[in-house]
A = this chain, B = another copy of it.
Amino acid sequence: MQADTQRNWCSRRQDKARRISQLESLATGKEIPTARIVEALELLLEPGDKVVLEGNNQKQADFLSRSLGQVDNSKIHDLHMVMPSVGRPEHLDLFENGVARKLDFSFSGPQSLRIGQLMEDGLLEVGAIHTYIELYARLFVDLTPRMALLAGFKADRAGNIYTGPSTEDTPALVEAAAFKDGIVIFQVNEIVDDVSDLPRVDIPASWVDFIVLADKPFYIEPLFTRDPRLITDVHVLMAMMALKGIYARHQVQSLNHGIGFNTAAIELLLPTYGEELGLKGKICRNWTLNPHPTLIPAIESGWVESVHCFGTELGMEDYVAARPDIFFTGSDGSLRSNRAFCQLAGQYAVDMFIGATLQVDGDGNSSTVTRGRVAGFGGAPNMGHDPGGRRHASPAWLDMRTDTNPLTKGKKLVVQMVETFQDANKPTLVAELDAIAMASDYQMPLAPVMIYASDVTHVLTEEGIAYLYLAKSPEERRAMVAAVAGITAIGLARDPVETARLRAEGLVAYPEDLGIKRSEATRDKLAAKSISELQAWSGGLYQPPAKFRSW
């Protein structure tokens, strides 16, 4: 027992100062010339460094990721990359060329197959697959970065950053680096002289070490646009069941919708079927989700009190800016998104999460994992669980209690809304999740389950609703899932007598039990049937990206 009086307690700070001093003749103040970014990265980095790279769900620090791919791999190698989202080919080029070696991430989307291949080839070692919010959390514990490579819209020469509407993950990613002597570098689309030339400041200059003008504006992906043309009558039927059998029944005030045509159909039924049911002003008032274009008719017809956003959505900028009573916007008028706070809001402050998935097993566990694809979790496991730390009550939350014991908490509504088949040969309801085979293929410590059965309160298919929170035993729960599993193997194995009992006791509801006629469930009920009708609802404020302009 003894104090280590020889120890240097400021090694990170000194190391940072030493590295930064090497850019003395290269940078002008905080500004790195665009053409010299590769050289700068080679001077600032060392092998094995932990590096946060802002690949977000939507926004990409793509100039910096491309530049990192060009560093001399004899100088800079074996980096440990920490990234919310691995979405771009160059992210994985880093591993192929040896610049990086280890990866901690949350979501990989289009790169999921290649991650699996690089793992098999021994070129990429996965630290862990996280949800967004636990990845941010680890930045403050055991994944504190030496460098953070981030994207902003504009900077002034002092280093104040304007992120524009896609603030997204930036505040969470920058904080751990800025306050633990990491080096913070922002690529921006434009550099202005003075802070007064910035529309607003999202990240203060004193957290930023370097800025660099990108060769072109950062890439941002429109991930949350669903074309109403692709919504089917089946989606409409399911959406009607959701509204009557779940939203109205439990008085859902605040909620998060996943992306998908099912939930887009719900959004587009609020001004039509929702009004028929007399629900306006009674449900769906406070939202945590990205600015979905399919939410425009509900907003315009007065259903929506507030929307807090994880990120932005391309084309929605002007619409959002013109609706500050609904959206969170800055003094400049544009959206302030914030994934960390929106994830918190979606976990702790809303009544319900409803979303789709690719597979649901007989117990109600679900996953979007397909064999060979190391896809990651994104935010779904956080939205799709009952947060054990919640202590405030709401009517919907209390409605999930099945006894009157004062020690029984309410529950968040977690609804899995799926068609029984993905396509003719691919059932959604399956005996075993592919995630289990994945776990053994890649020696994962546990199967990559998206949402656990113990958290799911409802399963909704085109067949009906299973009110799983009412199940009195695991066996009854399985019978309830089977009752809505249609002609999948799980569904075909159900006992008709048991199914009749479940319906009679209100544990399962088919459309007719809810007073919904299948013949009435048609696309005619949608408040908008195309992107151009969404644009019309917005009074021309919504400007759909080119790929959605099919008229």
Using known A-B contacts A131-B389, A142-B306, A436-B407, determine if residue A341 contacts B254 with beta carbons closer than 8 Å: no
Check if A137 sits within 8 Å of B345, measured CB to CB: yes
Q: Which chain B residue has the least Cβ–Cβ distance from A386? A: B388
Q: Which chain B residue has the least Cβ–Cβ distance from A202? A: B204
**Complex Cα–Cα for A449 and B407 (A):** 7
**Complex Cα–Cα for A328 and B13 (A):** 11
Check if A301 sits within 8 Å of B1, measured CB to CB: yes
Q: Is A145 an interface residue (CB 8 A)?
A: no
Copies per assembly: 2
**Complex Cα–Cα for A137 and B345 (A):** 4
Q: Which chain B residue has the least Cβ–Cβ distance from A253? A: B142
**Which of A332, A385, A407, A410 has the most B CB atoms < 10 Å from its CB?**
A407
Count how many chain A residues have C-beta atoms less than 8 Å from C-beta atoms of the other chain.
113
Check if A385 sits within 8 Å of B391, measured CB to CB: no
**Complex Cα–Cα for A419 and B29 (A):** 59
Check if B10 sits within 8 Å of A342, measured CB to CB: no
Shortest CB-to-CB span from A393 to chain B, Å, is: 4
Check if B392 sits within 8 Å of A138, measured CB to CB: yes
**A527 to chain B: which residues have CB within 8 Å?**
1
Shortest CB-to-CB span from A13 to chain B, Å, is: 5
**A91 to chain B: which residues have CB within 8 Å?**
none
**Complex Cα–Cα for A7 and B522 (A):** 30
**Complex Cα–Cα for A180 and B307 (A):** 11
Check if A179 sits within 8 Å of B329, measured CB to CB: yes
Check if B388 sits within 8 Å of A388, measured CB to CB: yes
| Proximity bits, A370-413, B CB within 8 Å = 1, else 0 | 00000001000110011111111100001000000011111000
| Interface segment out of the listed A244-252, A318-326, A423-431, A503-511 | A318-326
Taking a contact as CB atoms closer than 8 A, the residue among B200, B348, B539 that contacts A138 in the complex is: B348
**A448 to chain B: which residues have CB within 8 Å?**
391
Taking a contact as CB atoms closer than 8 A, the residue among B181, B206, B406 that contacts A446 in the complex is: B406
15 pairs of residues in contact across A and B, judged by CB atoms under 8 Å:
A1-B301, A13-B325, A128-B392, A134-B389, A134-B391, A137-B348, A142-B306, A204-B204, A365-B407, A381-B389, A381-B391, A388-B388, A388-B452, A406-B446, A410-B445
B-binding residues in A (CB < 8 A): 1-5, 7-13, 127-131, 133-134, 136-138, 140-142, 144, 160, 172, 175-176, 178-181, 195, 198, 200-207, 253-254, 271-272, 275, 285-286, 288, 297, 300-302, 305-306, 308, 322-326, 328-332, 336, 338, 340-342, 344-345, 347-350, 365, 377, 381-382, 385-393, 398, 406-410, 435-436, 439-440, 445-449, 452, 455, 527, 537, 539
